[in-house]
Amino acid sequence: MTLTQLEYFCAVCRYHSITRAAAALYVSQPAISMAIRELEAEFHLELFHHAKNRIHLTKEGERFYARAEKLIHESQSIYSDFACDEWGDRPLRIGIPPLIASVFFPALSELFMKETGIPVQLMEYASMRACRLVEARELDIALGNLDFHGIERFHKLVLMEDETVYCVAKTHPLASRTELRMEDLLDGWHVFYNRDSVHNQTLVSRFQRMDRSPRVLLYSSQLATTLDFVRMGGCGAFLYESIPVGDEFVEVPLVPKLTTKFGLVWKDEASERVKAFVDFAKRRSPEVVS
């Protein structure tokens, strides 16, 4: 059992719908369904009755929901009460996108904590949602795609630039191509990042310029899940070139290139801890990225 599983479960209870819960949390429906299945398997429970257009809790599910809500509330209280030092009463809250952050960010945050003693709490959010949470003061800093409308509302620091490629299994019909245009991808099935990502909206816009909508088989923020679908050979995924995928896959460049700048965003009224992290990133990110 994990807190993430409990949060997904409680969201479905509140919205009475996996679809609406997924939209509210900006995650994929399969991710929520899997979390619920894992909870049911672990505790040997049936948590929901499934009707045609709605689900509702079983008696056991109602009891489980009450306990799960208490656990989530208690976990939040623990962060508030114990994540403190001379820098303040809580850790520096940084939103990170699940896929691209794995390339270099864990090393950067770990080095920062060792050097400064300032605690860091990393939370996985796609770029657009993370920026909204920075604006709402629920996050201190967000790492993400900087190519979005409204970036001027934030301070920003570019850390790296990446390129989008089309990832397919070696058995896929497009695996032998040396480059791909968007026109080549109109009729295929694709895996996209979650809907609250800048990357998703950029790709959708490119399809719409051709008066088409992409055929999206899966919205996912999890690399393992994405590659499991791609491995079957019936679809491809738009991924960043820097993400390691393994020798069993082929990454085909897009023409024209789709490049993205990644970096940090924060608000004007930055705390001393935010300023300390930004200064640290300016000094150390090239070393970490390389």
d(CA 43, CA 40): 5
Residue 141 to residues 44, 114, 195, Cα–Cα distance (Å)? 40, 19, 21
| DSSP output for 49-64 | EE-SS-EEE-HHHHHH
pLDDT tens, N- to C-terminus, the chain (290 residues) = 888 889 889 888 877 788 878 876 767 888 889 999 999 999 998 999 877 666 888 999 989 998 998 887 777 656 555 554 444 557 889 988 877 666 656 677 888 888 999 988 888 887 888 888 888 888 899 988 888 878 888 999 998 899 999 999 999 999 999 999 999 999 999 999 887 788 888 899 999 999 999 999 998 877 888 999 999 999 999 999 988 888 999 999 999 999 989 899 998 767 888 999 999 998 876 544 43
Find the domain containing 43 and state its range. 3-82
DSSP 158: E
User: What phi, psi does 20 have (nearest 5°)?
Assistant: -70, -35
Same domain, yes or no: 21 and 145 = no
In a domain, 64, yes or no: yes
Same domain, yes or no: 174 and 187 = yes
Domain harbouring 16, CATH code:
1.10.10.10
Same domain, yes or no: 125 and 53 = no
**How is residue 126 written in tokens?**
């796609």
Positive or negative torsion for Cα 288, 99, 24, 32: negative
In a domain, 223, yes or no: yes
What single-letter amino acid sits at 289? V
Candidates 137, 112, 84, 123; CA nearest to 276 is: 112
Same domain, yes or no: 111 and 74 = no
User: What phi, psi does 171 have (nearest 5°)?
Assistant: -90, -5
Contact 252, 174 (CB under 8 A): yes
In a domain, 39, yes or no: yes
Domain boundary among 23, 53, 82: 82
d(CA 231, CA 226): 9
Based on DSSP, count helices (H) and strands (E) in the chain, helices before strands: 9, 11
pLDDT in tens, 151-201: 888 999 998 899 999 999 999 999 999 999 999 999 999 999 887 788 888
d(CA 286, CA 290): 6
Whether residue 256 has a cis bond before it, omega within 30° of 0: yes
Same domain, yes or no: 70 and 124 = no
In a domain, 87, yes or no: no
d(CA 121, CA 60): 33
Q: Please count the structural domains in the chain.
A: 3
In a domain, 147, yes or no: yes
Domain boundary among 49, 82, 115: 82
Same domain, yes or no: 238 and 169 = yes
Candidates 111, 117, 115, 65; CA nearest to 87 is: 117
